Structure 1
Amino acid sequence: MTSVTIIGCGWLGFPLATSLIQQGYFVKANKRQQQDLAMLTQAGIEAYQFDLASEKSMASAKKLLDSDMLVISIPPGLRRGETDYLANLAALTSAIGDKHYQRIIFVSTTGVYPNEDRIMTEDDAHPHSPVSDTLLQAESIFASMNNSCIVRFAGLVGPKRHPGRFFAGKRDVSGGNVAVNLVHLDDCIAALSLILRAPKVANVYNICAPEHPTKAMFYTYAASHLGEIAPEFNQQTAPSKLIDGNLICQQLGFSYGHPNPIKMLDAC
């Protein structure tokens, strides 16, 4: 039985873990707090208390990281002002040591792309802001490892992440012309599962729904979908980047189950 360790078993990591178990994998995962381990165990996950910011929890690292494959899904928290992201990733690489995996997946974000009025492919990332610089530094830590793949998710939606409240009731909102770049949790899990089992993958994949309604169209509908007051957009425009998530389709035969962001709201 192929084993997979998931570092970061939260909104994305936990449903990924349960899906992988259903697919026949043996899954290990961590939580930072002891009291949270029971939820993992009940789901059939081999659970470990492991906090990258705590030297005490490093004692459990060897067993946790002893798997065939590794998925790293740690929210950066940069927009909340957290500053220990890179230090935590450095601690993780130290714990990995010279361990070799059949596949390492590092979950990143399309925030590495600048807000420019054009289509963004996997080759277009560059440090255009302090946040993007940190994100790209994080990617580079794992990109140099054998059998690694960087997966950049667009804006995440799904259970408990309905975007209808983002702009609900707001007035004078600018950028109504901007293309929406989103991906549903179901497609995130399907893409990660495919990358784990594929014999050969690219260094980087964007995962983003192929349809891109405008910000005004999407968030007006999303608010009404929740019964909220629709936002009011002004005439001020903004650069509209469009994330191209087609490479994984071309190379691995992936198909988005939720290609339309408006329709994916029914699955939130």
Structure 2
Amino acid sequence: MKIKSVSIVGCGWFGLPLAKALIKQGYIVSGSKRSMEAAAALNHDGISGFGLDLDKQQFNGCVIGESEPGFDESTLAMLHQGLHTDAIIINIPPAIVKSPGAYLKRLSFLKRLMAQHEYMRLIFVSTTGVYPSSECPVTESDAAPHSPSSEVLLAAEKLFSECDNACIIRFAGLVGPGRHPGRFLAGKENLPGRESPVNLVHLDDCIGAVACLLSGKALSPSYNICANQHPTREAFYSTAAKDLSLEAPTFSDESQIGQVGKCIDGTKISKELGFQYRYNDPIAMLCECN
């Protein structure tokens, strides 16, 4: 299997640098943005941009109903060119707290737009939020509904895991340029989970992992992407805040009962596909997050 063209639905903080990296590797890349103006700007980076607003579910006055989508010819041609590639990477932020229910509606609409095309590889970007707390290292088979948001995340995964040649990739907490974890908890007081393990992954490793999944090798249904070292919340976030000369957070002295947290095992992709993480130590990532 030789994948030559890739569509990235959602060219934001992760999708845009991913697109640029894949172009350097020789792929023909198309990418979506919510507005036509933002989509056109992608062309300056060699990305074939196309507009796709999954909230409006409307193109050039053609509202999408419950039946097959109906488009004018120019819109249909734009969508076919953007979405009908050898592989597709679906990277839509859940934003479940801000807009409950919207995430699954967006993804269901997208799936309908993709329905008439067969992909050599479909990669759905999910999160390790699908895992409940556990005293044991958490692997890909441990996903289970444990909260309203996890139920939504698992339903989203199911929408695409049923598709041919699909693979779910679950990212731990994302850090990288412009997303320094020192800002996450700086100055906060009496936080829970002092001894809970930290689960983070650097942007560069997320990009490398997706590229690995496009390589043509046989894949498992899902992979976790998470650094292999897991410092405690107190140790990590205190160091991260100090790295930015911010006030370190303080943690509660109350019992850790009920605050086990979880330790994500991200080694499966390495064992099966030979993927090598660049950043296995979250503390070492800090210098690459400014």
1:1-268 equivalences under 5 Å are 2-57=4-59, 59=75, 60-236=78-254, 237=256, 238-268=259-289
What is the total number of aligned residue pairs between the two structures?
Answer: 268
Kindly provide the amino acid, as one letter, of the partner of residue 95 in structure 1.
Answer: L
Q: Secondary structure at the match of 1:80?
A: coil
Name the CA distance, whole Å, in 2 between partners of 1:19 and 1:267. 17
Gaps spanning 5+ residues in structure 2: where?
A: 60-70
Name the CA distance, whole Å, in 1 between partners of 2:93 and 2:266. 21
Q: Secondary structure at the match of 1:104?
A: strand
Give yes or no for contact 2:86–2:119 (8 Å, CA) kept in 1.
yes
CA-CA distance at 1:23 after TM superposition: 0.3
Identity between Structure 1 and Structure 2 (%): 46
Name the CA distance, whole Å, in 2 between partners of 1:34 and 1:48. 7
Name the CA distance, whole Å, in 1 between partners of 2:273 and 2:253. 41
Name the CA distance, whole Å, in 2 between partners of 1:81 and 1:176. 30
CA-CA distance at 1:55 after TM superposition: 3.2
Name the CA distance, whole Å, in 1 between partners of 2:283 and 2:208. 20
Name the CA distance, whole Å, in 2 between partners of 1:62 and 1:91. 15
Name the CA distance, whole Å, in 2 between partners of 1:259 and 1:51. 36
Which segment is superposed worse, 48-57 or 250-259? 48-57
Taking a change above 3 Å as real, the CA distance of residues 3 and 254 of structure 1, as seen in their structure-2 partners, is same
Report the counterpart of residue 62 of structure 2 in structure 1: none
Name the CA distance, whole Å, in 2 between partners of 1:124 and 1:133. 14
Give yes or no for contact 1:118–1:240 (8 Å, CA) kept in 2.
no
Name the CA distance, whole Å, in 2 between partners of 1:41 and 1:82. 33
Name the CA distance, whole Å, in 1 between partners of 2:139 and 2:226. 11
Name the CA distance, whole Å, in 1 between partners of 2:192 and 2:245. 22
CA-CA distance at 1:50 after TM superposition: 1.1
CA-CA distance at 1:171 after TM superposition: 1.8
Give yes or no for contact 1:76–1:82 (8 Å, CA) kept in 2.
no
Larger Cα Rg: Structure 1 or Structure 2?
2
Q: Secondary structure at the match of 2:187?
A: coil
Name the CA distance, whole Å, in 1 between partners of 2:54 and 2:8. 13
CA-CA distance at 1:63 after TM superposition: 2.0
Kindly provide the amino acid, as one letter, of the partner of residue 86 in structure 1.
Answer: L
Kindly provide the amino acid, as one letter, of the partner of residue 219 in structure 2.
Answer: V
CA-CA distance at 1:195 after TM superposition: 0.3
TM-score by length of structure 1 reads 0.97
Kindly provide the amino acid, as one letter, of the partner of residue 92 in structure 2.
Answer: I
Give yes or no for contact 1:153–1:207 (8 Å, CA) kept in 2.
yes
Name the CA distance, whole Å, in 1 between partners of 2:240 and 2:97. 23
Name the CA distance, whole Å, in 2 between partners of 1:246 and 1:116. 17
Name the CA distance, whole Å, in 2 between partners of 1:189 and 1:15. 8
Name the CA distance, whole Å, in 2 between partners of 1:252 and 1:198. 10
TM-score by length of structure 2 reads 0.90
Name the CA distance, whole Å, in 2 between partners of 1:3 and 1:93. 19
CA-CA distance at 1:66 after TM superposition: 1.3
Cα-to-partner distance string for 1:158-213 (whole Å, 9 max, x where unaligned): 01110101111122122110000000000000000000113211100000000000
Gaps spanning 5+ residues in structure 1: where?
A: none
